[in-house]
Chains A and B, each alone.
Chain A
Amino acid sequence: MRKRTLQMLLILLILFLVPQLLYNLGFISPYILSVLMELCFFAVSAVSLNLVFGIAGQFSLGQAAFMGTGAYVFGYIINRSPNWVVFVPALLAGGLAAASLGYLVGLPTLRLKGDYLGIATLALNQIFVVVIQNLNAVGGARGYILNLGQTFRQWWLFFGLAVISIFLMRNVVYSSWGRLMVAVREDEIAAESVGIDTTKAKIWAFVIGAFFAGIAGAMSAVYSSFLHPSSFNFIQSFNYMVMVILGGLGSLSGSLLGAGIYVALLEGFRIAKDYASYIPILGAITQNEYRIVFFALALILIMLYAPKGLMGGREFSFFKGKELERK
């Protein structure tokens, strides 16, 4: 147990230091570091959606609205005085606001099942967008500029927040709380009959998932310093669902992988095209406009050949709940 913790800390330290050092020594460009930052909040969001859909079995297509709530609330607060004292409260406020929205949305809609729940959350996502478009205090449809400069745009902050968030979610999943959610996903009638208040379990899953989606949203606000309603519409919710499914439903480490592949497919293309531009035909079809076309094709192919996602519900061993076994 002790050894495992040390190993894990060592790996995390390496994962943190390598990009930082490479960047400081000038081996990687600010662009690549910024892609890695993006990966951090994608991963948090994908894992939180996996907690709701993969673990608790509640099909949500409203992830972007929870992220948007976190982003806008965080942005509104931090914009008053962009300094480190305000940062943590603003971040938590973003998460809690998203969690509250999760509660309010979950209360009536979690009676619905499967596709219907997905449709309802998609609709609420879009209503959220229209409300923001009409909220002049945060710029409405024009978007909302955050005057943050580069203060918070630090690799250690993104990496640290991602590690803490994912660690906390992983612990919840590998605890009695997570077991109850899995029970609800597997068989609601059996769950009720062993004394589980399934409504409560679903709402908790929604609230916890929304909280971390809100944190991911706040991270995205730091990342881009500009919030626009269209960055949080249901199409964005699809993107997080894509990451979750690519990695494999119910596999938290799969969601990390899914987020990684998502970013690699989209951003890797930009990097690859610089090299491809020297080759005649390849150069012509690797202009930016082709980026999403290739991404879409890759997505279809992955689904055709690995319909259960790359991890297919399995978990990398460093994620597993070994603490729940007999030593």
Chain B
Amino acid sequence: MGASPASWKEAVVIQQIVNALMLGSVYALIALGYTIVYGIIRFINFAHGDIFMVSAYIVFAAVSYWKLGFFGALVAAVVGAVILGVTIEKVAYRPLRKAPKISLLITAIGVSLFLENFVALPLVMGSMPKVVPSFIPIISYTVGGVRFTSAQVIIFGLAVVLMALLGWFIRNTKLGRAMRAVSTDYMAVPLMGLSVDSIISSAFAIGSGLAAVGGLLYVIVYPMVDPFMGIMIGTKAFISAVVGGIGNIYGAVAGAYLIALLEVLVVAAGYSTWRDAVAFGLLIVVLLLKPSGLFGKFQKEKV
């Protein structure tokens, strides 16, 4: 093979960056759920990846059974995920709030196993992967040799808008400020006229809603669902949150895009079998050098 023109090489690099932005957006939306919940009750909700999975299945059902379009699927997934997330917190986690933290973690593992294997039941969805039919018109644009699709624009745009909204919400609403307060001082909340229960419920609701959007965006790019899809994606999202500094929403987003970029680069370099090691390796390095995460400093400024 002869030397390729420089513009072609550039196009490949940009194409990889576009891919990383897609994957990163999904990781970021899920990572936010981990980080918001951890910030408030210091609990790693291991079932969060499965909420993403259930949302993806709701999208699948909305599109193939109920013949809904993009907005219908979006609303169905978000509503379903929020109800699921809030119910799980109420039924399985809330009674254990004063129990040892490890019992809560084991319960979360139980919830996660339950969701995965319940969805996999033959009477529910079955354990085989299902293909999600295309539900948004795909229009391609080519700018400077790089191909964009309308789907990619929607994914990135929606993710950015939601993250900006979340940032605004946390800073400017009463509930958002209460959430920040509870993460620094549990006792401060009753002073703000809100109950701890309602704040924790809201955290689970917001986290689940964002994961649902993550599920929708994911099936647009990778139109397949399976009952165990939440494990690895959820874990990567969780790592993003830790790498960025768990409890810090900006850190979670930055961590998500960083991990997505590294993964895409490793695959592009021909080491796809090492792909999963990248996120975990980065996690170890960050934990050892700066256990509070790359943006852990922001946590202190929360006060």
Contacts and interface: CB of A to CB of B under 8 A. Distances in A.
Interface of A: 59, 108-109, 111-112, 115-116, 119-120, 123-124, 126-127, 129-131, 133-134, 141, 234-235, 238, 241-242, 245-246, 249, 287, 289-290, 292-293, 295-297, 299-300, 303-304, 307-308
B110 A133 contact: no
A289 B92 contact: no
Contact of A300 (B114, B235, B291): B114
A241 B111 CA distance: 15
Interface in B268-303: 273-274, 276-277, 280-281, 283-284, 287-288, 291
Contacts of A241: 106, 109
Contacts of A293: 114, 117-118, 121
Interface in B92-122: 92, 95-96, 99-100, 102-103, 106-107, 109-114, 117-118, 120-122
Q: Which of B96, B106, B117 has the most CB of A within 10 A?
A: B106
A59 B95 CA distance: 23
B109 A238 contact: yes
Nearest to A115: B44
B113 A296 contact: yes
Contacts of B288: 108-109, 111-112, 120
B92 A112 contact: no
Contacts of A300: 92, 107, 110-111, 114
Contacts of B273: 130, 133-134, 141
Nearest to A235: B231
Contacts of B99: 303, 307-308
Interface string B68-106: 000000000000000000000000100110011011001
Nearest to A141: B273
Contacts of B96: 303-304, 307
B251 to A, nearest CB: 15
Given A112-B291, A303-B110, A308-B103, A123 B284 contact: yes
A31 B291 CA distance: 47
Contacts of A246: 106
B127 interface: yes
Contacts of A307: 96, 99-100, 103
11 contacts: A108-B288, A109-B287, A120-B288, A123-B284, A124-B284, A127-B280, A241-B109, A242-B106, A293-B114, A295-B113, A296-B114
A292 B127 CA distance: 13
B277 A303 contact: no
A123 B113 contact: no
Which secondary structure dominates where chain B touches chain A?
Answer: helix
A246 B109 CA distance: 13
B239 interface: yes
A116 B114 contact: no
Given A238-B109, A307-B103, A116 B121 contact: no
A111 B235 CA distance: 23
A240 to B, nearest CB: 11
B111 A296 contact: yes
Contacts of B171: none
Contact of B102 (A116, A245, A290): A245
B42 interface: yes
Given A123-B283, A296-B112, A307-B99, 10 more contacts: A112-B291, A115-B44, A116-B287, A123-B239, A129-B276, A130-B280, A292-B117, A293-B114, A303-B110, A308-B100
Contacts of A112: 287-288, 291
A77 to B, nearest CB: 25
A126 B283 CA distance: 11
Nearest to B103: A307
B29 interface: no
Nearest to A292: B117
Contacts of B109: 238, 241-242, 299
A120 B44 contact: no
A189 B103 CA distance: 26
Contacts of B120: 289
Nearest to A233: B231
A123 B111 contact: no
A289 B227 CA distance: 13
B214 to A, nearest CB: 21
A303 B107 contact: yes
Interface string B149-184: 000000000000000000000000000000000000
Interface string B107-144: 10111111001101110000100000000000000000
A300 B112 CA distance: 10
Q: Which of A133, A234, A299 has the most CB of B within 10 A?
A: A299
B110 A126 contact: no
